[in-house]
Each structure stands twice: as C-alpha cells, then as structure tokens.
Structure 1
Amino acid sequence: MDHDLVEEIMEVKEYSAEGKFYQPHEFEDLVVQYKKIPKVTPSSSYADTLFYNPVKHRRETARYLKTELALVGQPYQILVIASKFERQEQIKNICLIILIPVMLLFAIVLLINRILLKKIWSPFSQLLNNITAFNINHEEPYKSVEMPVEEFRQLNEVLVELSGKVKSDYNEIKLFTENASHEMMTPLAVINSKLDNMLQSNVLGKEDGETLVELYKATSRLTKLNQSLLLLVKIDNNLLQDTEEANLKLLIEEKATYFQELITERNITLETKLEDVSISTSRQLLDILINNLFSNVIRHNYDGGKIEISLDVDKLVFANTGHNKALDPEKIFDRFYKDNTSEGTGLGLSILKQICNRQHYQLNYSYEHDLHTFTILFNPKLI
C-alpha cells in the first residue's frame, strides 16, 4: 500500500507539470487532499487512520502518505489516503480459499487415519482382552487372534506358545503336588500308628519315651502341614465348587459349641453379637473358614483372654487378645509366615485368605484396643 501511495504522489507531480491538480477516479477508493503552506520542507510520513469514504458513505480503515510539494508554483501539503477495506476483504477471501480446503483435507486425513488405526489396533485390543481373560485353572486354552500387522502376529504366536507352556508346567506341578500330598498321607499314618504303639508299650525308658513324644509331635505337625497344603491345592484348583444357601449365624453358634470345651479350659471369655445372615457359598469352604477363624483366635490367645465375634449382612468380625502386639499386615497372609512363638504351620491365615479370594470376599487385619481383629467383607465393592 505504501508503494501505491508513492505512485499516487508521482501522479500528482505529473499532473502539476501540466498545471493541473490530480484527483483520483471514484472507483479507486482514494482521497487526495491539498493544503497550502508557507514553504516546502522535504519530509514524508506514513500512518494508519480512519476516514470517511465519500463514495461508499462510511468510515473505513486506511493508510495515508503526507508530503510537501511545490505544485503550479505554489507550496502545498499533499495528503493521499487509500482505503484498506478492499485489501482486507481480499485477504479474508484468500485465507478462506486456502483454509477451507486445508481444513477439509485435514478432516479427511483424520477420518482415514482413525479408520486405519481402528482396523490395525482392533485385533491388538482383542489380544489384550484374551490375555486378561486367560485363566490358568480353566480348561480352555488361550485364544489366538488373527493379526494384520507382522509384529502383532509374532506377538500373538509368542503368547500362544507361552500360554501353552505355562499351562503345561502348571498342570504338571499341580499333578505332582496332589500326588505327593496323597502319597505322603499313607507313610505318615503308618509312622503315627507305630509311634502310638511304642508310646503305649512299657518297655521304653524315660529318655526313649521323651524322644518318641518329640517324634510324635513332629510327625503330627508334618501331617497337619500336608493336610493344609493339600487343602490349598484344592482351593487353588477350584475343586471345592459346591454352592448352597448357608445360615452363617447357626454355623457360628454350632462351631462355638464345638470349641466351647477348649474356650472354657483356658478361661477365655467369648462375646458374640450375631444377626441372622444367610449367604450363598460353598458349604465346605465356609466350614473350613469358620473352623480356622475359631482355631486362630483360640490358639493365639492367652489364658483368661477374650474373643469377640460380630456378624451382620456386610461383614463378619473375629477379634481376640494375644501375647503379641500388632502383626505385619503386609505379610500376615503370606504362606508360612508366623511369629517366633507360634507352633502352627504358618498356613492357617493363608488358607483363610485363599478362601476369601475364591468367594470374592475381602479379608482385612487390624490391631485396635489390644485386639487382633480379622474382618471379612462379603460385598467389598459396596462398602
């Protein structure tokens, strides 16, 4: 625009040479103003302004050039004003002409990219779903997925091979554990029977008798350990799947009567607060669960201690006093974890945890008010 303004000044000079004053045509959106001055000083200035367009009868933004010249022998200040409106409209149109196709092309590219990515990654998503759904305990093998991408196809083949190997190794370990546990029961029963017979005989001396008693305790502990491991194998393999409606209150009261002699013998106070609650679960697992809870709160209590049991529709709580302070909540449910004073196998709480996992319960441990508290939440997602 500044270049055009300079050209207009040149037009003014040419017209002045002929003794005329230059006036632009109406359609040029130009205004040339002349103002007499005392004398000419060689100066020019450019700037933006607003002016009234006499042709369009509106105010518009404009660019002007102000300079001083001698015209027809007289000094004049010349002001040339050029409207910006048409140029701005041209710029807008050019931008629209460029931007609309570019945006349209960008949208088409995004759409095509989305369709292609969905087509490429959809099998990968299915692959992830199959990995998530794969269960080593189920008979169904890992499901293969048709993959369009070579790298994904290789990943799928590796997963198929790996899942088959894992399942095969797991089945071998499971079979070995089951067979080993069953095979161990017979020699242990024979050893216990022989030790019973030897302890009942009168031909042993005092030292021999004490040695046999220690052997008897060791084999009894080994028998319990074997039974616990066999039970864990059954729970891990989901072999106890019977489901029925069980009244938890009646079962706890029945077990309380069963363990009453041990509780009374150790002068332990039993406090119960039981609501009438029935749940649909495996009767065998529930029976083992309540047995282990009672056994735990009695074995790890002290003479003259206290046991508190509460039951409502949401949770079951067993709390007991004990010789030890708080146990490590991160390790307490680990297999073979126990304190130094315990004579158990270290599998009782692991069995509790495994049963709760199988039944989709949540088992928590806490130590409050000198009580070791075990809480079973029946619907943990709702609490």
Structure 2
Amino acid sequence: MDHDLVEEVMEVKEYSAEGNFYQPHEFEDLIVQYKKIQKVNPSSSYADTVFYNPVKHRKETARYLKTEFNLVGQPYQILVIASKFERQEQIRDICLIILIPVTLLFALVLLINRVLLRKIWSPFEQLLKNITAFNINHERPYEPVEMPVAEFRQLNKVLVELSGKVKSDYNEIKLFTENASHEMMTPLAVINSKLDNMLQSHVLNKEDGETLMELYKATSRLTKLNQSLLLLVKIDNNLLQDEERVNLKSLIEEKQIYFQELITERNITVETVLADVTISASRSLLEILINNLFSNVIRHNYDGGKIKIILDEEKIVFANTGHNKALDPGKIFDRFYKDNVSEGTGLGLAILKQICNRQHYQLDYSYHQDLHTFTVKFNHQ
C-alpha cells in the first residue's frame, strides 16, 4: 500500500507540471487533499487512520502518505489516503479459500485415519481382553483372534502356543503336587501309627523311648508341613471358592470352644469383645483363618498369659502376650520364617497372608504394650 501511495504522489507531481491538480477516480477508493503551507519541508510520513469514504458513505480503515512539495509554483502539503477495506476483503477471501479446503481435507484425513486405526487396532484390543480374561485354572483355553496385520498374527500365534504350554505345565505341576501330597500322607500315617504303638509298648528302654519320641515329633511335623503346603497350593490356585454369608461372631465362639482345652491347660486368660458381624466370604477360608489365628496366639503365648479378641464391622483383632519382643513386620509373613525357639512349620502366618490376599483383606502386625497384635481388615481395596 505504501508503494501505491508513492505512485499516487508521482501522478500528483506529473499533473502539477501541466498546471493541474490531480483528483483520483471515484472507484479507486483514494482521497487526495491539498493544503497550502508557507514553506516546503522535504519529508514524508506514513501512518494508519480511519476516514469517511464519501462514495460508500461509511468510515473505513486506511493508510495515508503525507508529503510536501511545490505545485504550480506554490508550496503545498499533499495528503494521499488509500482505503484498506478492499485489501482486507481480499485477504479474508484468500484465507477462506485456503483455510476451508485445508480444514475439510484435515478433517477427512483424521476421519480416514481414525477408521483405519480402529480397523487395525480393534483385533489387538480384543487380543488384550483375551489375555486379561485367560485364567490358568479354567478349562477354557486361550481364545485366538483373527488379526489383519502380519506382526499381530505372529504375536497371536505365539500367545496361543505360550498359553497352551503354560496351561500344560501348570496342570502337570498341579497333578504332581496333589499326587505327591496324597502319596506322602499314607506312609506318614503308617509311620505315625507304628511309632505310636511302639511308644505305648513296655518293652523299650528309656533311650529307645526318647529316640522314638523324637522320631514321632519329626513325622508329626512332616505331616503338618505336608498339609500346610497342600493347603497353600489350594489357596494359591483359588480352589476354595465356596462363598456364602458367614456370621463371624458365631464362628469365633465355635473355634474358642474347640481350643478351650488348650487354653485352660496353659491357664491363659481370654478377653473377647465381639460384635454381631456377618460377611460374604469363603467359609472354608474363614475357618482356616480363625483356626490359624487361635493356634498362633496360643502356641506363641506363655503359661498364664493373655489373649484379646476384638471383632467389629471393619476388622478382627487377635492379640497375645509372648516370650519374644516385637517381630520383624517385613519378614513375619514370609514362608518358613520363624524364630529359633518355634516348633511350628513356619507356614501358619504365610497361610494367613495368602487367605487375606485372596479375600482382598489387609493383614497387619504390630507390637504394643507387650502384646503381639494381628489385625485383619475386611474389604481392603
């Protein structure tokens, strides 16, 4: 626009050479104004302004050039004003002409891209769902997916083969574990029976009796270990799923009666605060849980000690006195972890932890005021 204004000033000079004052045509959107001055200052200035367009009868934005020179022998200030409106309209039209097709093209590309990606990735998403749904304990095999992409087809083929191998290996290990545990029980029962008969006979001397007693304790411990390992396998493989409504207060009272002889024999005081709480859970797992908690607080207590049992809507708390101080909370639930004086298998607390994991409970241990405290919080997410 500044270049056009300079050209208009040149035309004004050409017209003045002939003794005329230049006036632009109406359609040019130009205004040329002349103003007499005393003395010519040879300088020019450009700026933006707003002017009234007499042809279109409206105000428009414009660009002007102000300069001074002699016209027909007299000093004049020349003001050339050019409207920006037409150029702005052109710029807007050009932008629309470019932007609208580009926007439509971009939207079309996005749509095509989305459709293609959905078509390509939809089988992959189904593949992920099938992997997530695959359960090694169920009889239903892994379901393959028809894949349009070669790499995905290869991945699907590998997953089918891998799932079959994993399931086959798992079934073999499971069968071996069950058979081994079952087969071990028979000779252990025979050994225990024979040892029991020999201990009750009166033909043994004192040393032989003590030796047989040690053997009897070892085989009893081996029997408990075998039973505990078999139980852990069942819990790990989620084979105890008989969920039902269980009244915990009645269950704890029932188990307390079961262990009452041991409690009385060791002169242990039991304090109970039991709310009437019923939850939905596996009764088998809850019975094992309560059994192990009772067994733990009695076995690791001392004669004349104390047991506290608290039950409310949120938790079960078993606390007991004991010979040892605080245990290591980071290792206490590890399998086969136990203190030096313990005669247990080291699996009782590990079984507790595994049951709580399966039932989505939180199991915590703390030591406070000479009490070892185990807390089971229900429905912990």
What letter matches 1:366 in structure 2? Y
Count of residues paired in the alignment? 380
Structure 2 residue aligned with 1:369: 368
- C-alpha deviation, 1:244, in angstroms: 4.5
- C-alpha deviation, 1:137, in angstroms: 0.9
Matches within 5 A, 1:299-378: 299-358=299-358, 360-367=359-366, 369-370=368-369, 371-378=371-378
Superimposed CA distance per residue, residues 134-158 of structure 1 (whole angstroms, 9 cap, x where no aligned partner): 1111111111111111111111111
Superimposed CA distance per residue, residues 141-197 of structure 1 (whole angstroms, 9 cap, x where no aligned partner): 111111111111111111111111111111111111111111111222222233333
Whole-Å Cα distance in 2 between the matches of residues 270 and 256 of structure 1?
9
Structure 1 residue aligned with 2:210: 210
Superimposed CA distance per residue, residues 303-354 of structure 1 (whole angstroms, 9 cap, x where no aligned partner): 3332222223443322223333444444433322223332211111222233
Structure 2 residue aligned with 1:75: 75
Structure 1 residue aligned with 2:248: 248
Superimposed CA distance per residue, residues 260-280 of structure 1 (whole angstroms, 9 cap, x where no aligned partner): 122222232211122233344
- C-alpha deviation, 1:103, in angstroms: 1.3
- Please give the TM-score of this superposition, normalised by the length of structure 1: 0.91
Matches within 5 A, 1:175-190: 175-190=175-190
Matches within 5 A, 1:164-313: 164-313=164-313
**What is the DSSP-based 3-state SS (H/G/I as helix, E as strand, rest coil) of the residue aligned with 1:262?**
helix
Structure 2 residue aligned with 1:156: 156
Whole-Å Cα distance in 2 between the matches of residues 304 and 51 of structure 1?
107
Q: Is the 8 A contact 1:361 1:376 kept in 2?
A: no
What letter matches 2:94 in structure 1? I
Structure 2 residue aligned with 1:136: 136
- C-alpha deviation, 1:95, in angstroms: 1.1
What letter matches 2:122 in structure 1? S
Q: Is the 8 A contact 1:365 1:372 kept in 2?
A: no
Matches within 5 A, 1:12-27: 12-27=12-27
Q: Is the 8 A contact 2:32 2:81 kept in 1?
A: yes
Whole-Å Cα distance in 1 between the matches of residues 2 and 243 of structure 2?
92
Structure 2 residue aligned with 1:46: 46
Question: Which moved further from structure 2: 4-13 or 344-353?
Answer: 344-353
Structure 1: 5+ residue stretches without partners? none
Q: Is the 8 A contact 1:363 1:374 kept in 2?
A: no
- C-alpha deviation, 1:202, in angstroms: 4.2
* Aligned CA distance change for structure 1 residues 279 and 41 (closer, same or farther; 3 Å): closer
Question: Which moved further from structure 2: 15-24 or 190-199?
Answer: 190-199
**What is the DSSP-based 3-state SS (H/G/I as helix, E as strand, rest coil) of the residue aligned with 2:136?**
coil
Structure 2 residue aligned with 1:87: 87
Q: Is the 8 A contact 2:273 2:311 kept in 1?
A: yes
Structure 1 residue aligned with 2:105: 105
- C-alpha deviation, 1:209, in angstroms: 3.2
Q: Identity, % of aligned pairs?
A: 84
Structure 1 residue aligned with 2:126: 126
- C-alpha deviation, 1:227, in angstroms: 1.0
Question: Which moved further from structure 2: 173-182 or 233-242?
Answer: 233-242
- C-alpha deviation, 1:126, in angstroms: 1.2
Question: Which moved further from structure 2: 345-354 or 308-317?
Answer: 308-317
Whole-Å Cα distance in 1 between the matches of residues 239 and 72 of structure 2?
117
What letter matches 1:258 in structure 2? Y
What letter matches 1:380 in structure 2? H
Cα RMSD for the two superposed structures: 2.2
Q: Is the 8 A contact 1:302 1:323 kept in 2?
A: yes
Structure 2: 5+ residue stretches without partners? none
**What is the DSSP-based 3-state SS (H/G/I as helix, E as strand, rest coil) of the residue aligned with 2:23?**
coil
What letter matches 1:212 in structure 2? L
* Aligned CA distance change for structure 1 residues 197 and 340 (closer, same or farther; 3 Å): same
What letter matches 2:307 in structure 1? I
Whole-Å Cα distance in 1 between the matches of residues 65 and 241 of structure 2?
96
Whole-Å Cα distance in 1 between the matches of residues 65 and 212 of structure 2?
121
Whole-Å Cα distance in 2 between the matches of residues 160 and 95 of structure 1?
56
Q: Is the 8 A contact 2:362 2:380 kept in 1?
A: no
Whole-Å Cα distance in 1 between the matches of residues 244 and 15 of structure 2?
112
